[in-house]
Every structure is written in C-alpha cells, then in structure tokens.
C-alpha cells in the first residue's frame, strides 16, 4: 500500500541512508530492548540449554542431541504434541464457523439486539479465564455438577459421568471451555466486517434473483476475507497458548490424556526438574509454530 511508494523512491545517498538508519533505531530502541531482552534472548538461551542436561542446583552437562532423541521417543511428549494439535485443529475452525454463523444472524437485528448478543458472547473473555474455569470445574463435577444433574433429570444420562476424569471426555471438555472463551472476539470482528459490506451490491444481487446463500458466498464472503484471516491467526495463537484451563482443571490428567506441550513443559520443569528437556520441547514447538505462522503469513500475502 503506502509503504510501496516509499520503497520505490530513487536511491538516496548513503549518508542519508545512514542518518535514517540511526533515526530508525532510535525509534526502535525502546521496543527492541523489550523484544530482544524478553523474547529473543530467552529464546536463544532456550535453544542453548536444550543441548544440556540441566537440573536444579547442579552445573549443566552438555549432552548434544540427547534431549531431542529422548523427546521423540517419549510417548507422553508425543501424546502432548497430538493433544496440542487436536485442540488447535478442532477449536480454530469451530470458533471461526460458529462466530461467523452467530454474526451473520445477529448483524441484521435492531441495533440494541446486536449489541446485546455481542456483549453476552464477549462476557467470558472479560470475565477472565480463571474465574470462568472455576465455575466450569463445578459444572463438570462428577458428583454434583450441573451437567450430570441436568443429564439425569432430563433422562439423557442414567449414571453420573466423570467428565474431567474420563479419558474419553476430558479433552473435549477442555476444548468446549476454550471455545466459549474464544468466540467473543471473532463475533465482534465479524459483526463489524459484515456491517461494512456494501449493502447496495447485496441489494442489487437480490434484485437479480440471487438467494441468501449466493449473496453470502459471492459477495459477503470475499468482503470479509481479511477479517477471517486475522481471526484465524489470532485464534490459532490463542489455542496454542491454552494453559490455565489445563493447569486448573486436570493437571494434564487423566493419565496424561489432556497434556499439551505448554503444560508438559511446565510439568517437566517444575515437577521433574528437567530443565534442558523442557527447553528442547520448547524449541521443537517454537520451530513448528514459526513454520506455521510463516506459512499463514505467506498465504495472507498471496491473497492480498
């Protein structure tokens, strides 16, 4: 966009470039201190330590790739990797589709109704993940939780289900909470994006006999594409970061079936004191995420 014109200017003198570089770094300095100091520098330490056997109160021992070798033979790590991806793969599309569906249904309502719905769906976000989790923990309770109570009084369940204690349900339960805390922002975004779609084109299409589905697919969908991409990126980041839910609800259990990489790093570091091993895990995850975000970013650029 605007940056393009700036870049296409004729070559400037090297003195000018030097001066501009200096000025630029003056502007960048405050941000760089934090970015390099608290993101990049720890990341480098993380990579370095991942080659060491590092534990509490003992000098690190260089072990080369041993941590990585153990890692890919560790069934719990592989399980955690799988769970992390299950969470991302399930929650990202559902979040996007659900919020798009809700938004398109509420966007044409009277102003007050739109804003009421938008507010309600945004509530779990502002309530805070810990407060929300505490209530969900009660709702899932094996003995007096509301799901079992409702299930039994409606005759759906004949026996209490231990939602968080049963391997079959635990991960699903966590994803459900994650969904309720992550659709708020996409709904706000989609309502705004759909509101900005040029109504005259939509009306013209309707006059031409296009049905609602065609209208949506041919006109609205392309118009909200940038929003969708943004939502995809934000939701993916969010889903990867899912930690509080697991730490507060299941601690990775039962039987490591709800471990994610984030939780397992915490677990190896502070319950098993295997710092080098935890760091190796972090590096693997960082590489995966960096590749993913580079791909996403490239795709985004292509579409533009």
Partner 1 sequence: MSATAAKKQKPLKRHPSKLKKMSAYTILAIILISIMAVLFAFPLYWIITGSFKTGAAINATTPEWWPSQWVLTNYQKLFAGKRAPLWQLAVPFGSKFSANGEPVYFSVGPMAPAAIRWMINTVFMAVMSMILTCLTAAMAGYALAKKRFVGRKLLFTLIVCAMALPKQVILIPLLREMSALNLYNTIWAVIFPIVGWPFGVFLMKQFSEGIPTEMLEAARIDGASEARTFVKIVLPMVKPGIGALAIFTFINSWNDYFMQLIMLSSTSNLTISLGIAKLQAENSTDFGLIMAGAALAAVPIIIIFLIFQKYFTKGIAMGAVKG
Partner 2 sequence: MKNCISRRSFLKAAGILGAAGALAACGGSSSTSTAASSTASSAAASAAGTGASIKLWTYPIGGWGNDETVQNLISSFNAKYPDIKVTVEYLDYTNGDDQVNTAIEGGSAPDLVMEGPERLVANWGAKGVMAPLNDLWTDDAKKDIYASVESACHNEKGDYYEYPLCMTAHCMAVNMTKVKEVGADQYIDTDKHTWSTEGFLNTVDALYKGGYENVAAIYCSGQGGDQGTRAIINNMYGGTFTDAAHTKYTADSAENIKAIQALYDAKGVNFDPSINGGEEITLFRNGTLQMAFCWNIAQQLNADTAAAGQTISGDEIFPMAFPTESGDPKLCGGIWGFGIFDNGDEAKIKAAKTFIDFIAADPAQVKDSVLASTYFPVRTSVGDIYAGNEVMSEYSKFMGYLGDYYQITPGWTTARTEWWNMLQRVGSGEAVETAVKTFVDNANAAAAAEA
Give burial (CB, 10 Å; 0-12/13-18/19+) of 58.
exposed
Residues 22-81 that bind partner 2 (CB under 8 A): 29, 32-33, 36-38, 40-41, 43-45, 55-58
**Residue among 132 and 171 whose Cβ is closer to partner 1:** 132
Nearest to 166 by CA among 150, 147, 181: 147
Reduced to 3 states (helix: H, G, I; strand: E, B; else coil), residue 81 is helix
Binding partner of 246, given partner 2, partner 1, none, CB within 5-8 angstroms per partner class: none
Separation CA 151–CA 149 (nearest Å): 5
Q: Within positions 228 to 267, which residues make up the interface with partner 1, using CB under 8 A?
A: 230-231, 233-234, 236-237, 240-241, 243-244, 247-248, 261-262, 265-266
Cα–Cα distance for residue pair 229/296, rounded to 1 Å: 9
Pick one of partner 2, partner 1, none as the site partner of residue 81 (Cβ within 5 to 8 A by kind). Answer: none
Q: What, of partner 2, partner 1, none, does residue 146 touch, CB below 5 to 8 Å by kind? A: partner 1
- Could you tell me how far CA 79 lies from the centroid of its own chain? 19
d(CA 264, CA 271): 10
Q: Which does 167 bind (CB under 5 to 8 A by kind): partner 1, partner 2, none?
A: partner 2
Q: What is the torsion angle, in degrees rounded to the nearest 10, for the CA atoms of residue 239, residue 240, residue 243 and residue 245?
A: 20
Instruction: Give the residue, chosen from 50, 95, 227, 250, that forms a contact with partner 2 under the rule CB under 8 A.
Output: 250
- Binding residues among 262-291 for partner 1 as defined by CB under 8 A: 262, 265-266, 269, 275, 278-279, 282-283, 285-286, 289-290
- Considering only residues 19 through 78, tell me which ones interact with partner 1, judged by CB under 8 A: 20-21, 23-28, 30-32, 34-35, 37-43, 45-46, 49
First to last CA, the chain: 10
Q: Is 19 in the site for partner 2 (CB under 8 A)?
A: no
Considering only 125, 210, 273, 288, the residue that binds partner 2 (CB under 8 A) is: 273
H helices of 128-165, where?
Answer: 129-139, 146-153
Neighbours of 196 (CB within 10 A): 11
By CB under 8 A, the count of residues binding partner 2 is 50
141 is an interface residue for partner 2 by CB under 8 A: yes
Q: From CA 14, how far away is CA 35, in angstroms rounded?
A: 28
Contacts with partner 2, residue ranges (CB under 8 A): 1, 3-4, 7, 29, 32-33, 36-38, 40-41, 43-45, 55-58, 140-144, 160, 162-167, 250-251, 253-256, 266, 269-273, 275, 294, 297-298, 300-301, 304
């Amino acid at each position: 966009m605007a940056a393009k014109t700036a870049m296409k200017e004729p070559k400037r003198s090297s003195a000018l470039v030097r001066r501009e570089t200096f000025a630029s770094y003056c502007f960048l300095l405050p941000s760089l201190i934090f970015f390099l100091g608290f993101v990049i520098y720890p990341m480098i330490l993380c990579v370095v330590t991942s080659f060491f056997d590092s534990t509490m109160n003992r000098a690190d021992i260089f072990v080369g790739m041993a941590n990585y070798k153990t890692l890919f033979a560790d069934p719990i790590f592989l399980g955690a990797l799988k769970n992390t991806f299950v969470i991302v793969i399930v929650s990202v599309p559902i979040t996007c589709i659900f919020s798009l569906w809700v938004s398109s249904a509420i966007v044409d309502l009277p102003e007050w109704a739109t804003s009421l719905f938008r507010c309600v769906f945004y509530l779990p976000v502002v309530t805070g993940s810990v407060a929300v989790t505490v209530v969900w923990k009660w709702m899932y309770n094996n003995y007096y939780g509301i799901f079992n109570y409702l299930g039994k009084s409606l005759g759906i369940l004949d026996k209490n289900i231990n939602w968080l204690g049963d391997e079959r349900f635990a991960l699903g339960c966590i994803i459900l909470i994650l969904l309720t805390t992550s659709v708020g922002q996409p709904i706000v975004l989609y309502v705004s994006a759909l509101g900005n779609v040029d109504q005259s084109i939509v009306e013209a299409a309707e006059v031409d006999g296009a049905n609602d589905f065609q209208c949506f697919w041919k006109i609205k969908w392309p118009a909200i594409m940038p929003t969708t991409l943004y939502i995809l990126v934000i939701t993916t980041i969010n889903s990867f970061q899912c930690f509080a839910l697991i730490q507060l609800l299941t601690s990775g259990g039962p039987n490591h079936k709800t471990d994610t990489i984030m939780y397992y790093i915490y677990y190896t570091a502070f319950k098993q004191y295997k710092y080098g091993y935890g760091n190796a895990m972090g590096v693997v995850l960082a590489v995966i995420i960096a590749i993913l975000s580079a791909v996403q970013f490239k795709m985004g650029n292509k579409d533009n």
